[in-house]
Amino acid sequence: MQYFSLAKNAPAADFKTATILGQAPDKGLYFPETLPVLSPEFIQSLPRISKNEMAFKVMKPYVGGAIPDSDLQTIVQETLDFDIPLVPILSNIASLELFHGPTLAFKDVGARFMSRCLGYFSKSLDATITVLVATSGDTGGAVANGFLGVPGVEVVILYPSGKVSPVQELQLTTCGKNITALEIDGSFDDCQAIVKAAFMDSDLQQKLFLTSANSINVARWLPQQLYYFIAYQEWLKTANSTKPPVISVPSGNFGNICAGLLAKKTGLPLGHFIAACNINDVVPQYLATGNYASVKAQPTISNAMDVGDPSNFVRIMELFSHSFEGLQQVISGDTISDAITAKTIQEVYAQTGYILDPHGAVAYKALQNYVKEHPLEAGFILETAHPVKFPEIVEASIGHALTIPAQVQPLFSKEKISVQLPASFEAVKDWLMPG
């Protein structure tokens, strides 16, 4: 498998090179030159095979021999070493719970896969790899956990000060070892812009071996397909509908929904996709009008989706050969306000006892809106983070305290350690540059 740059001005790269570089030399995102085609036999086997066997078969074409089969099998097994259940909420709405991993967020899947791939590749390199990543909340914790203690890799995480939840902040500021958190006085878009500028800076490129662990990196983005396959396996076993499921994805940087669309493009029988957004709704506006205009992100209670210029949307456009009409046939958008998000958490808990986090609530309301207009359809939401990561809004909505999961209880006894910096590329560059 070869990958080309979507900026169209860089040589093709294999999976190893694309993973190590993060972005192409022309600063474009890497994209597979050819998409695998899932065989009918493989699709028919999905209800019977294990998730590890499924994951190996899905990922092998993308890795393209860059990692031996035995090592790749170990990587996918460790990546998926936790439950990913499809939980019914209503007769026509289920929740794919992606928060049972070590950091209680969907990004554990991509971060664990990438960290293990990069750990394998680092053995053949002389230099220390510096992973530079911006986070709006969950990426930082997942990357920190995934890369903690990986030999030959240093991780630097930029996060917006005061704009991540307490649990999220503790997850990315209490690791120590090879993990450093930079607390930026700005927004996630500021953090992302600084990271992008770092990859374009010749001084840093000469001094450091930089790569990214955001979903711009193919090793972070591609494995996110796997839980769509797992969901489909469960859908066939438990769903009341024989039609392909409608999928509502809480969307910020659009790597998650892009991975699902990729799975659909390669042959997984999935139905309509909904890009469920908060008021940072650049893509829903585009889908409604045909006009794409990035904006300055506005803070919301679903903070991991506070993105005004989603990096991965260019990959979605490439998937659909830049056809607006083709894209509209497969995906629609919805915008959910903070007030409606909080009300949804309250109402769903009162009616069903199910507790949504703010991001899952955005997805739930968008799916609820869709099935009201299409009463013969059924589907599921991606519940991307545990509600305990957002205690203030969730507890106010359900009327009682949340139970703290065992895997995060030790965080509250640890000391937060971060480096506070202004939202300035020069300040971050000065900090990154070797003495």
Q: How far apart are CA 366 and CA 356, in angstroms?
A: 13
- Output phi, psi for 274, to 5 deg: -120, 120
Distance between CA atoms of residues 14 and 429, nearest Å:
29
Which amino acid is present at 329?
Q
Q: For the sheet with 13-14, list strands across it.
A: 13-14, 2-5, 30-32
Q: Is 296 exposed, middle or buried (0-12, 13-18, 19+ CB in 10 A)?
A: exposed
Give the predicted TM-score (pTM) of the model: 0.91
What is the Rg, in whole angstroms, of the alpha carbon atoms belonging to the chain?
Answer: 20
Kindly list the domain boundaries of the chain, sorted by start residue.
Answer: 82-106+221-398
| Cα–Cα distance, 189 to 296 (Å, whole number) | 8
Active site (annotated) includes residue 264:
no
pLDDT, mean of each 10-residue run, the chain (435 residues) = 96 96 91 96 94 97 97 97 96 96 92 93 86 86 90 93 89 93 93 89 90 89 97 87 91 94 97 97 94 90 90 95 95 98 98 98 98 96 94 95 88 93 96 86
The letter for the amino acid at 283 is V
> What letter represents residue 31's amino acid?
F
- Spatial distance between the Cα atoms of 188 and 298, rounded to a whole number of angstroms: 10
Strand partners for 160: 184
Task: Report how far residue 363's alpha carbon sits from residue 330's, in angstroms, rounded to the nearest whole number.
Answer: 17
Decide: 28 and 10 in contact? Cβ < 8 Å: yes
Q: What is the DSSP string of 144-172?
A: HHHHTT-TTEEEEEEEETT-S-HHHHHHH
Predicted local distance difference test score (pLDDT) of residue 303: 86
Query: CATH classification of 82-106+221-398 is 3.40.50.1100, yes or no?
Result: yes
Active-site residue, selected from the candidate residues 16, 51, 107, 163: 107
User: Which DSSP string do the residues of 389-406 spell out, in sequence order?
Assistant: GSHHHHHHHHTSPPPPPT
